[in-house]
Amino acid sequence: MNPKKSLHGKIALVTGASRGGGRGIALALGEAGATVYVTGRSTRSQSTRSDVPGTIDDTAEAVAKRGGIGIAVRCDHTAEEDVHALYQQIKQEQGQLDLVVNNAWGGYEDYDGVDFLAPFWEQPMTRWDNMFGAGLRAQMVSSRCAMSAFFLEQKHGLIINTGVFPDIGGDYPINVFYDTVKRASANMTRSMADNLKRSHLDVTAIALAPGWMRTESVYTHYGLTPYDPDFMKVEALHPTESVEYIGRAVVALASDPYVSQKSGQLLEVGALAEAYNFTDIDGRRMPPFRV
């Protein structure tokens, strides 16, 4: 698959795109020629993270360098008024929206000294609140706004909810909060697709599961400079993929005229790489994540 300019003229929104998977998705969409609205709370004038780099301004600039149009809009996706204002801005500026990637997430910040893999009775409830508020609830609020502002009138559109994962099995340590919200996102997406089908709308809802991504936080954890091409230290425990691998999966889905056949499904980036014949930025085709 050659993604170059396959999405020219398309308007996309990627939430939570300051860094991590959201940044990688926005870059891939830009490379495919799309106009990409990138949202988040971190701006060059005020970042929410002091430990890792990345702002929506940086991402929008990088999208433009890849050949697309990047538009940064500060948005707190836990605040409904912010989300409604965001969609109204897109409506006024573009008049259309083709793709929404709900990637905003909370729960990794402010660990408060509690290990992420501690048992549920030791986990702070603020972590639960952040995961559901800035994750699952944010996906629903954004999806509802996409429907009311664009997709009901257009009668077509694509919603992708990221960050979910299948039952990977094995002796994998479980954070009960994390496991619950991720599975809930997959279930929500399946039910959304059922609503859309029953309403005879040509709107597709998909849940998308990446593997172990080399995010800025992962690089920092291993003592590496983010985006350092020498990432083998990160792979000491398990093979990893770049944040642009999931971006190439999004481009493939958005370019597929038959993507509606996948509505409601939980799809894995590694499996889509095989199906759509794309690779990661280093030329490898990473399989779906397994322990």
- What pLDDT, in 10s, does the model give residues 149-160? 999 999 999 999
Q: Fill in the DSSP letter of residue 261.
A: G
Write down the CATH superfamily of domain 11-276. Answer: NAD(P)-binding Rossmann-like Domain (3.40.50.720)
The residue that leads in pLDDT, 159 or 108, is 159
Q: How far apart are CA 148 and CA 195, in angstroms?
A: 14
Would you please indicate which residues are annotated as catalytic (active-site) residues? 178
Helices and strands (H, E) in the chain, number of each type: 10, 7
Local confidence band at 169 (pLDDT 50, 70, 90 cut-offs) = low
Give the residue from 124, 96, 122, 99 showing the smallest Cα distance to 109: 124
Give the residue from 218, 220, 226, 121 showing the smallest Cα distance to 175: 121
Amino acid at 38: V
pLDDT at 182: 92
Q: Is residue 3 over pLDDT 50? A: no
What is the arithmetic mean of pLDDT over 51-61? 89
Q: Is residue 81 over pLDDT 90? A: yes
**Structure tokens that stand for 33 in this block:** 């020629």
What is the arithmetic mean of pLDDT over 51-56? 83
Local confidence band at 69 (pLDDT 50, 70, 90 cut-offs) = very high
Q: What percent of the chain stands above pLDDT 90? A: 74
What is the arithmetic mean of pLDDT over 193-201? 97
Give the residue from 167, 206, 175, 202 showing the smallest Cα distance to 190: 206
pLDDT tens, residue by residue, 212-246: 899 888 888 777 888 777 777 777 777 899 999 99
The mean pLDDT of the chain is 91
